[in-house]
Structure 1
Amino acid sequence: MPVTAAAVPLPLFPLHTVLLPGAPLGLRVFEPRYLDLVSECGRGGGGFGICLILQGEETGAPATPAAFGVEALIEDFGSDRGGLLALRVRGGRRFRVAGVQVRDNGLLVGSVHWCDAAAAPAPRLRPEHAVMGTLLGELLEKVGGEYASANLRRLEEAEWVGWRLAELLPLSDAQRLALLQEDDPHRRLDCLLRWMDE
């Protein structure tokens, strides 16, 4: 697995959902530990990690996060109708959690290794996955929104096609987590093909 040599600290926001690379996610923030996290990100200009909760809840005592997650980069923020902080984040790099510490305020901080190689060339779809690019093109046409202006050349990129299908298809959190743990974009597409046939 291609990971960085040294682990880096990353504050974690465990959720009952899986954030995928490139995918948007809306969050409502009200617990003091997560308000502190957002302030810290604002001061430092960085992101935080989102991991699927394996045991526990989103509020209260620190939950047990999955060993793999995705960096959340804040794109926009404001207040919802109830006056709570509302964030719009987008998935960035994948990471593997090597260890976790709990701060006094209950915030989890992971010691993480980044999984994705920097500036690696985007692998192209293989012939056996061409149907996946076609399917994604049809889905994007129906979904519209931010995808209405997607660059159609990306439909030839194995990694982008895999992540967008994983985002749009009705997969379970366990399936999305399995894809996060897979480094090879072609094997991710193999998994998606197998699940679609089941």
Structure 2
Amino acid sequence: MGIGQRLANGLPAVCRFITKYNDKGTAEFAGNRDETINWHDVGGIKNYALGYTTTTSPVNIADDADISTFDQHLVRKPGMVIPGGAICRYVDFAPGVTSPMHRTISVDFGVVIEGQMESKLDSGETRLMNRGDLMVMRAALHEWRNPSKTEWARMLFVLLDAEAPIVNGKTVDEDYRNALPGIPKSQ
């Protein structure tokens, strides 16, 4: 499935293009790779797809070390956050779906790609996000909701490992009040 094609939920298929260096020292696209991003269904209410992962910061790109690590993550799915690294993930939300309330110890960049999404914090505050809007989630306890009754929504998330926040002298921990299906906890 590639450019111009649609998934079963009606949203566009997406591709991943990875660059590397050849023996001449010029950039090229990493050949012999399936550029189609594969999705996995999580109970019919959400679809997840792994965009890319890294395990170090700065990222070790020498001899394509990061590509090798990413290939391992395609086989053995990483947790919500990769200690010392980053994860880029697409998430499709079915109409009316609300994610479990959760907190990762990370700085997350969430961008609405298709539809609208509502973000709700544990304080009860909400923000309605439209296509192109960016949420910077800083280890906050939150949930996501697709407010549409008829249309799927898509978000792109980039999660960067972070140090645990300290609030009033107490360290804040990862929190999965309800398990996030299909994605293991951070390791």
TM-score calculated relative to the size of structure 1: 0.23
- Normalized per residue, the structure richer in strand is 2
- Normalized per residue, the structure richer in helix is 1
